[in-house]
Amino acid sequence: MRRGILEMCILAIIHQEGEAYPSDIISSLKSQNLIVVEGTLYPLLSRLKKTELLEYSWKESKAGPPRKYYSLTEKGKDFLADLYSNWQNLAKAVTATTKSLSKTQ
């Protein structure tokens, strides 16, 4: 389940930014207390690229070699919409199932 949530968050960050550099994705996740290391992110980005959910382009950098920026494909946008819909349904079900817990606190 965590991997699916992480995928959704990464795709959402890229969608929001239009395109994103991996270290910017990590910074965005960390700012929301979702700690992800490069060793987790890069294989995930590679897999999302292989499944045609992401594409990338090289951009010149002022501080070194060119950088790889990721963006969503149309297939990726559709996949993100499906993930988000499933997330909303899951969150609603968990909230309904655990509503008695809020009464005990």
**Count of domains in the chain?**
1
Domain that residue 28 falls in: 2-88
Residue 37 resides in a domain: yes
C-alpha to C-alpha distances, 91 to 16, 28, 78, 94, 105, nearest whole angstrom: 22, 22, 20, 5, 20
Residue 105 resides in a domain: no
Threshold 0.85, pTM exceeds: yes
Q: Taking 60 as the threshold, does the pLDDT of residue 31 lie above it?
A: yes
Mean pLDDT of the chain: 92
Residue 98 resides in a domain: no
Which tokens hold the place of 20? Answer: 């994103």
Angle between helices 22-31 and 38-50 (to 10 degrees): 120
Q: Mean pLDDT, to the nearest integer, of 84-100?
A: 93
Residue 64 resides in a domain: yes
Higher pLDDT, residue 6 or 1: 6
CATH number of the domain encompassing residue 13: 1.10.10.10
Residue 8 resides in a domain: yes
Residue 7 resides in a domain: yes
Q: Taking 60 as the threshold, does the pLDDT of residue 54 lie above it?
A: yes
